[in-house]
């Protein structure tokens, strides 16, 4: 090559179903990549036109017409620079998850994804047919092999591209975030390039879509498996990689900026912020409202909401009862003032008293139990949902994964809401994230992090009254939920068998609650939601 080949990686945020809006974003980004970055080729993520995952929208005939019109619009309006664009391809044999190379208004090549993931959050075999052929085309003097996401998780597609003459692999992706996912992606890519001996360009989607967050982290890898360019996580942008001839007639990437790998806490927090921001904004809500109890879960949720949306779009409400401590009142007020959100104090005492009086005859002769505790939680829900309805702001719930797992939450009470930011964060992770957020600027009172957790629904209540210590509970839950281990296998790790059996029974018994919970950001290897499909009615006993 007489001059370096410049490939732009368009790490952008698209909206599922907004085909014309997505086409407009492609056109604007392609023009910018050409005029500002002098790109010779622009890569867009997997299923750019439809957004990912489009799910059953793919079956709607009107959606098909919009996809075809959107593709035609891009072909017409992007003629000055070639682009690789992900889209659902409707063909006689079915629907394909495809990548199209568009040049001078024409489709010069199409690659149909050959490896269709059907595990965890993926169910692509429900929608797509698998391609069977490699796709090698030219970008200037370089022969490029087109691949789509899962194609690099197995060796065959890359091998077929190399055998067909590819000198560079171009991979478009919609790979969702989970903790340590970037390490896994790069390990897989490293195995592929070392197998076929050619470099690789990996562009990934950005943005929140329901439970999923796409973190970007697009990268370029040379033929030895070294990452020579990496885009920042959770940041939209157009990132340019250059390639030159090597001494053997192939191509090699010119080293560029390599964004550092984030810590576990920084990456999870970034995913939570992006997930909340996109869920609220893509749904068109003017902001959020949430309960602020003085505990660590609501404190972390408030910090996430403010970082995602800005303080002016967040309202926090303290709803004390007879069991609310002065410490909780003080700490909630301090945090609201530190974050400069709108803050209200609305007592539930009169509502609680009235409800108990109304039910007095029905409850006669029965001792007080969790029923009275749940009534308090449901009184708070009435106030929060009233504010949500009146203001149009979405209600955020504040429950964590440990609570959701064992049912330590009130159906139609603190579980009510539109979105659950920390739903996939264990209690111990919540504490780690609270410490991390305070390292950026102290907004959560230290006493909130240090005090023993309590629902404050009865005198001197502590979580430890009802649950094993979180150090034990979270380890058992991770082994069961994320690793599918049995009681015997978890016991073999040193846990008390009776405790393990009790925890697993609570998880199974409370499936009916989780089915009615709002969605939340997925950050672990297995979250309650898309990749957790246990039956509600079941006779299985360990």
Asked if 149 is an active-site residue, the reply is: yes
Active-site option among 113, 401, 423, 427:
113
Distance from C-alpha of 217 to C-alpha of 198, rounded to nearest angstrom: 20
Structure tokens at 193: 């390039």
429 CB-near residues (< 8 Å, 6+ apart): 268, 400, 401, 474
Residues in the chain: 542
**Cα 167 to Cα 141: distance, rounded to the nearest angstrom:** 10
Q: Return the bridge partners of 394, or none.
A: 288
DSSP E strands in 190-306: the ranges are: 200-204, 206-209, 212-215, 219-221, 227-230, 237-245, 251-253, 288-291
Strands (E), 122-205: 136-139, 142-148, 168-173, 200-204
User: Residue 87 and residue 19: Cα distance in Å, rounded?
Assistant: 10
Bridge pairing between strands 212-215 and 219-221: unpaired
Catalytic residue among 46, 103, 115, 150: 46
Structure tokens at 221: 């890898």
Look up 113 and say whether it is catalytic: yes
Spatial separation of the C-alpha atoms in residues 22 and 30, rounded to whole Å: 12
CA-based angle 178:184:185, to the nearest 5? 95
In the set 103, 115, 139, 149, the catalytic residue is: 149
Q: Give one DSSP letter per residue of 455-469, joined into a string.
A: --SSTT--GGGTS--
Q: At CA 467, angle to CA 466 and CA 469, rounded to 5?
A: 135
Q: Which residues are catalytic?
A: 46, 113, 149
């Amino acid at each position: 090559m007489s001059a370096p080949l410049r490939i732009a990686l368009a790490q952008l945020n698209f909206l599922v179903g907004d085909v014309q809006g997505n086409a407009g974003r492609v056109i604007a980004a392609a023009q910018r990549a050409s005029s500002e970055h002098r790109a010779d080729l622009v890569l867009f993520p997997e299923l750019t036109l439809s957004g990912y995952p489009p799910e059953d929208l793919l079956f709607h005939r009107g959606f098909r017409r919009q996809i075809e019109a959107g593709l035609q619009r891009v072909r017409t309006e992007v003629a000055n620079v070639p682009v690789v664009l992900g889209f659902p391809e409707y063909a006689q044999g079915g629907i394909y998850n495809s990548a199209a190379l568009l040049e001078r208004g024409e489709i010069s090549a199409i690659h149909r994804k050959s490896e269709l993931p059907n595990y965890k959050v993926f169910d692509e075999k429900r929608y797509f047919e698998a391609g069977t052929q490699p796709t090698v085309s030219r970008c200037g003097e370089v022969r490029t092999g087109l691949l789509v996401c899962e194609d690099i998780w197995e060796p065959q597609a890359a091998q077929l591209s190399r055998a067909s003459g590819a000198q560079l692999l171009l991979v478009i992706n919609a790979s969702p975030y989970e903790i340590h996912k970037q390490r896994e992606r790069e390990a897989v890519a490293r195995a592929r390039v070392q197998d076929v001996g050619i470099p690789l360009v990996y562009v990934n989607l950005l943005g929140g879509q329901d439970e999923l967050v796409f973190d970007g982290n697009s990268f370029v890898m040379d033929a030895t498996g070294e990452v020579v360019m990496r885009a920042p996580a959770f940041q939209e942008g157009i990132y340019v990689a250059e390639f030159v001839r090597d001494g053997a007639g192939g191509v090699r990437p010119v080293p560029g900026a390599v964004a550092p790998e984030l810590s576990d806490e920084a990456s999870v927090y970034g995913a939570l912020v992006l997930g909340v921001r996109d869920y609220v904004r893509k749904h068109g809500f003017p902001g959020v409202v949430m309960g602020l109890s003085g505990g660590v879960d609501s404190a972390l949720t408030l910090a996430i909401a403010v970082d995602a949306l800005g303080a002016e779009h967040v309202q926090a409400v303290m709803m004390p009862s007879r069991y609310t401590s002065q410490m909780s009142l003080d700490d909630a007020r301090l945090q609201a003032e530190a974050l400069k959100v709108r803050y209200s104090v609305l007592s539930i005492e009169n509502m609680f008293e009235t409800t108990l009086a109304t039910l007095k005859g029905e409850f006669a002769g029965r001792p007080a139990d969790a029923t009275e505790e749940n009534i308090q939680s449901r009184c708070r829900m009435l106030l929060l949902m009233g504010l949500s309805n009146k203001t149009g702001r979405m209600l955020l719930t504040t429950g964590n994964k440990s609570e959701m797992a064992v049912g330590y939450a009130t159906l139609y009470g603190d579980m009510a809401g539109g979105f659950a930011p920390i739903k996939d964060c264990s209690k111990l992770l919540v504490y780690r994230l609270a410490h991390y957020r305070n390292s950026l600027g102290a907004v959560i009172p230290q006493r909130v992090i240090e005090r023993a957790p309590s629902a404050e629904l009865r005198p001197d209540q502590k979580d430890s009254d009802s649950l094993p210590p979180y150090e034990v509970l979270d380890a058992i839950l991770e082994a069961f939920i994320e690793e599918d281990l049995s009681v015997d296998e978890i016991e073999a790790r040193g846990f008390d068998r009776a405790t393990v059996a009790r925890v697993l029974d609570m998880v199974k018994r409370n499936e009916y609650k989780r089915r009615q919970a709002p969605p939340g950001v997925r950050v672990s290897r297995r979250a309650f939601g898309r990749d957790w499909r246990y039956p509600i009615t079941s006779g299985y006993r360990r």
